[in-house]
Amino acid sequence: MSEKVFLYEELLKEVKELMDPKCGDIANMANFTAAIKNKFNFWWCGFYLINANNELELGPFQGPTACTRIGFGKGVCGSAWQQEKTIVVPDVHQFEGHIACSSVSNSEIVVPFYKKGKLIGVLDIDSEHYNTFDENDAFFLERLLAYLD
Ligand code: SME
């Protein structure tokens, strides 16, 4: 098992324990991003949620300050929303329309976030390194998000 898969297996157990059914989404989403950020020390990890104006709006996150609103189909986040699929970006500088909230970010993954079968936002993770994310991240992050359903 690779180190990454091992850490994700640990994270699955930790996040399952961490999610508090007596809390609202914000508390659980905040802890969810903290658990991921601390496990892998990613540069930035956070949610964008679809707001009343049909834009993605910054939600609970861990890391430096970030862009607050992203349009449908814009950037990696808006594209993952539009396509309703996980997008892995090995080099953000090669992604047309990438929104640079931070010049430090070099690779990124964005995973659609569903609740009760409805897409309500995305989970976005940025790395200061190139080629950080692959199909393992997509697989495990999708599984982790199911704990927030
Ligand atoms: N890079 C993202 C914007 C959000 S920040 O990375 C936190 C994008 O292109 O959608």
From 77, 83, 94, 109, the mutation candidate for ligand 1 (largest count of ligand atoms within 8 A of CB) is 77
Asked if 89 and 57 count as a contact pair (C-beta separation under 8 A), the reply is no
State pTM to two decimals.
0.97
Q: Kindly report the protein residue whose alpha carbon is nearest to atom 1 of ligand 1.
A: 99
Per-residue pLDDT of the chain (149 residues; tens, 9 = 90+): 799 999 999 999 999 999 999 999 999 999 999 999 999 999 999 999 999 999 999 999 999 999 999 999 999 999 999 999 999 999 999 999 999 988 999 999 999 999 999 999 999 999 999 999 999 999 999 999 999 99
If 0-12 CB within 10 Å is exposed, 13-18 middle and 19+ buried, where does residue 1 land?
Answer: exposed
Q: Kindly report the protein residue whose alpha carbon is nearest to atom 2 of ligand 1.
A: 99
Is the CB of residue 45 below 6 angstroms from any atom belonging to ligand 1?
A: no
